[in-house]
Structure 1
Amino acid sequence: MIYKPVKTPLIAKSIFPNYVWDVPSASKSIYLTFDDGPTPEITSWVLNTLKDYNAKATFFCIGKNVEKYPEIFERILVDGHHVGNHTQSHIKGWNSSTEVYLKNVQICDEVIKSQIIHSELSAKNYQNVHLFRPPYGQIKPKQGKKLMEHGYKIIMWDVLSFDWDKKVSEEICLSNVISKAKSGSIVVFHDSLKASKNMMFTLPKVLDYFTKKGYNFDVLD
């Protein structure tokens, strides 16, 4: 089992300084991200909940899910959120050759761009397709280097909610975010069936808690 801390340690950030782990800012902003969607009902619930708090987020989408649920993907953009590439099939970088990995990312990129065109969304929605998050956080240095050479920003995280982990209770999931997130934090949630129980318990409470403390929830650029 690979150990993953809730709060990303400084040493990890220093080893991979070219990856984006947080967004230092003088303003009180937190960056919510959602991986693995779009997913029927769950992603729509997330969008409705974010709208209740006038919050924006960044959705790292799997290409196959974009193909299956284009109307949900379109709503993400129409609601003013940003999207990023999470590969076409949620491929593990450590188990894949660089060639295979880059091709999987490229296919997802083409799927997302095609959907934007067919949805007649404005050109501004192209700008964030080159945000990339590796599934499971697994990416070989060579894969990362090649993606950055192709203009991708590799987005990691500052705080993991662990919403997907069946061993983590709803209360612990909430505590993970409340206790560790701060201004500039990139927080990982999942708009997936596996994570839905913990995520749906935690997200409204996180939004309420930090909103009352004067924080904004912004998209990643």
Structure 2
Amino acid sequence: MNLFQTPFFLPWLYPQLVWRMPTHEKKVYLTFDDGPVPGPTEFVLETLKQYNAIATFFCIGDNVQKHPEVFTEIIKAGHEVGNHTFNHLKGWNTPLQTYIDNIKKCEATINTHPNLTDYHLPTTGHQLFRPPYGRITRSQINVLKEKYKIIMWDVLTQDYRKNITPDNCIRGTIQATRPGSVVVFHDSYKAEPNLIFTLPRYLEYLNAEGYTFGRL
């Protein structure tokens, strides 16, 4: 089993979710989960800027509330923003209404951010949601799909895992990447050691191979 690549049967079981973007171009879709937090998120923003790369940040509402200045930097840089619940809830363990209410709380926190009056919140015309841990029930999907584009992934960098070395992290991520890949990193303290090593090397690889960066 490839730890870095989504099992082939999941997109077949859940076709209403976005696992990979349909394209014949050499284009990837970078995503960052669990921020914004001082340090890791700022490192990501600076690294993306160096490589002229665009990304989507799936933000935890509680972190947006705690670190509004870091969230502002994401917006100023022109990146997309998605909803990752307010409290990083596991969908499988959370009652439907509790889960939906937590997502709404995150949405309200993002939309009432004080600096949104100064900087336009980037959007592609729809709202983006990613379930924490990738765990979501069919009943949750049925409610959310009316309003949100639910984004999963086909490449998971495993940057948050303590037993994955930085060398394995970059190697596995590169091997799993293909045109249209939706790639998950984490701008979190837990992932920081692998993130700092892997992200610039991955962007260097993508540039050398002629990849461009897309919006979801």
Per the normalisation by structure 1, the TM-score is 0.93
- Residues of 2 paired with 1:153 and 1:143: CA distance? 13
> Equivalences for 1:145-160 in 2 at 5 Å?
145-149=142-146, 151-160=147-156
Q: Is 1:201 aligned with 2:197?
A: yes
Structure 2 counterpart of 1:89, from 87, 90, 114: 87
SS in 1 for 2:5: coil
> Equivalences for 1:1-221 in 2 at 5 Å?
5-115=3-113, 118-122=116-120, 125=122, 130-149=127-146, 151-220=147-216
SS in 2 for 1:125: coil
Name the count of aligned residue pairs: 216
SS in 1 for 2:69: helix
TM-superposed deviation, 1:117: 5.9
Is the 8 Å Cα contact of residues 112 and 129 (structure 1) preserved in structure 2? no
Q: Residue 184 and residue 116 in structure 1: after superposition, are their counterparts in 2 closer, same or farther (change >3 A)?
A: farther
- Residues of 2 paired with 1:12 and 1:116: CA distance? 39
- Residues of 2 paired with 1:113 and 1:42: CA distance? 23
**What is the aligned-residue identity percentage?**
46
Give the unaligned 5+ runs of structure 2.
Answer: none
Per the normalisation by structure 2, the TM-score is 0.95
Q: Deviations over 1:76-102 (max 9, x none)?
A: 111111010000000111110000000
TM-superposed deviation, 1:176: 1.5
TM-superposed deviation, 1:125: 3.0
Flag as ranges the 4+ runs of structure 1 deviating above 4 A.
Answer: 116-119, 126-129
Coordinate RMSD, CA, aligned: 1.6
SS in 2 for 1:54: coil
SS in 2 for 1:60: strand
